[in-house]
Amino acid sequence: MTMDLTFLGTGSAYPSPHRGASALVLRTEGECWLFDCGEGTQTQLMKSQLRASRITKVFISHLHGDHLFGLPGLLCTVSLQTNPNPTQALPCLDIYGPTGLRKYLRVTLGLTGSQLIFPYAVHELETLPDQSPPEGQLSFEMTSESGALHPQEQLGRRVSLDVSTDCYMLFQDKRFVVKAFRLFHRVPSFGFCVQEHDRPGRLNTELLKELGLNPGPQYGRLKAGETVTLENGRVLLSGEVMEEAIPGRKICILGDCSAIVGDGPLKACHRADILVHEATLADEQQEKAVEHGHSTPKMAAAVALACVAQKLVLYHFSQRYKPCALQKEGDDDDILLLKRQAEDALQGSGVDVTLAEDFLTLAIPLKR
């Protein structure tokens, strides 16, 4: 199964003509999952190779405007681009994010009279006081929804922290388990871990037939790792006829943060194939970065090391950093500096560093 990750916006704070606000898409066989949706995401989508109508799930890391202001408009445009199905109701679009997101959508879609062609549900993650300074916490009054559901809204779940894993179990399907974990930011923030199931090795049935062994209980024993003695006396090891297992891929996408919270992030991101982490400012500005709840390349690298990640992708850059292609010689703020700082911090670790840019697509190859 092919998987890739496309960055639609890599700028922090607000969208600019050279860097969109936060949004990225994980695509797997035509299905697209959107992570964050800053203002202008729908236009960035139109400029990309992706189709808005393929978006089936949305994940919002935190409620800052540069990650959220594009969501009502995106839903309207996904709806406009979706063909009605006359014989069957369209599936529900699932949206995951912090408490308060349900009210945000209900009010914005409601007051603008926005009708969708499909149902949607907002599954809210309970935020905890250790995820932000006190002033970043929303009061119950602010987040509580009064009044009727939006006409296309289905009541979503309320997802609590699972204390045994220190993670939020969002869902699992045939292909993936998706969890969230806590981050520290000016407002409660989350990271998401998309873990593909391992693909167990298959029995090489063609080889077995050549060896004269027909389907039956012995197949099950070989699958279970046992040995089998053939009629001709040959002892067949499971390993001889089992293809190797393919470990599932793991993609971890962290929202804005100056720190991780609890054991959840390291557990969930352990051995991630790709760890997407913000790096808003350069190492020299760590104090300012942390004051605003953000990270520097060195801080991102430390998380990647602690997670034993294979590849670190930096994004969410201050708008002072122009994309490489637009930089002029002698520009004060060189985006490549951020890459070098992460690489320096990771020297000898083998962790690969990539700078995200708007419209960059990273293929995520099968592990073998």
Catalytically annotated residues: 66
Contact set for Zn ion, span 251-290 (CB under 5 A): 256
Task: Tell me the closest approach of the beta carbon of residue 65 to a second copy, in angstroms.
Answer: 4
Query: Which of the choices a second copy, Zn ion, none does residue 256 contact, using the CB cut-off of 5 to 8 A by kind?
Result: Zn ion
Contact set for a second copy, span 121-140 (CB under 8 A): 136, 138
Contact set for Zn ion, span 291-320 (CB under 5 A): none
The answer to the question of residue 171 lying near a second copy (CB under 8 A) is no
φ/ψ of 280, rounded to 5, equals: -70, -40
What residue has token string 């809204």? Answer: 153
Beta bridge partners of 153: 120
- Which of 77, 152, 295, 296 touches a second copy (CB under 8 A)? 77
φ/ψ of 330, rounded to 5, equals: 85, 0
Q: Could you write out the DSSP letters of every residue in 311-347?
A: EEEEE-B-TTS--GGG--TT-S--HHHHHHHHHHHTT
What are the E-state strand segments in the chain? 3-9, 23-28, 31-35, 55-59, 93-98, 120-125, 153-154, 158-159, 168-172, 176-184, 189-196, 228-229, 235-236, 250-254, 259-260, 274-278, 311-315, 352-355, 361-363
The answer to the question of residue 19 lying near Zn ion (CB under 5 A) is no
Task: Tell me the closest approach of the beta carbon of residue 10 to a second copy, in angstroms.
Answer: 14
The answer to the question of residue 83 lying near a second copy (CB under 8 A) is no
66's enclosing H/E stretch is: helix 65-68
Cα separation, 240 vs 313, in Å, equals 39
Residue closer to Zn ion (CB basis): 28 or 280? 280
Residue closer to a second copy (CB basis): 2 or 16? 16
Contact 57, 93 (CB under 8 A): yes
The answer to the question of residue 39 lying near Zn ion (CB under 5 A) is no
- By CB atoms closer than 10 A (0-12, 13-18, 19+), residue 5 is buried
The answer to the question of residue 47 lying near a second copy (CB under 8 A) is yes
- Which of 8, 20, 36, 66 touches Zn ion (CB under 5 A)? 66
The answer to the question of residue 16 lying near a second copy (CB under 8 A) is yes
The answer to the question of residue 36 lying near Zn ion (CB under 5 A) is no
Three state DSSP letters for 174-220: CCEEEEEEEEECCCCEEEEEEEECCECCCECHHHHHHCCCCCCHHHH
Q: Segment contacting a second copy (CB under 8 A): 62-70, 228-236, 276-284, 331-339? A: 62-70
The answer to the question of residue 73 lying near a second copy (CB under 8 A) is yes
The answer to the question of residue 310 lying near a second copy (CB under 8 A) is no
The answer to the question of residue 64 lying near Zn ion (CB under 5 A) is yes
Query: Which of the choices Zn ion, a second copy, none does residue 15 contact, using the CB cut-off of 5 to 8 A by kind?
Result: a second copy
The residue ranges that bind a second copy (CB under 8 A) are 13-17, 39-40, 42-43, 46-47, 63-66, 68-70, 72-73, 76-77, 80, 100-101, 103-104, 107-108, 110-114, 136, 138, 141-143, 146-148, 186-187
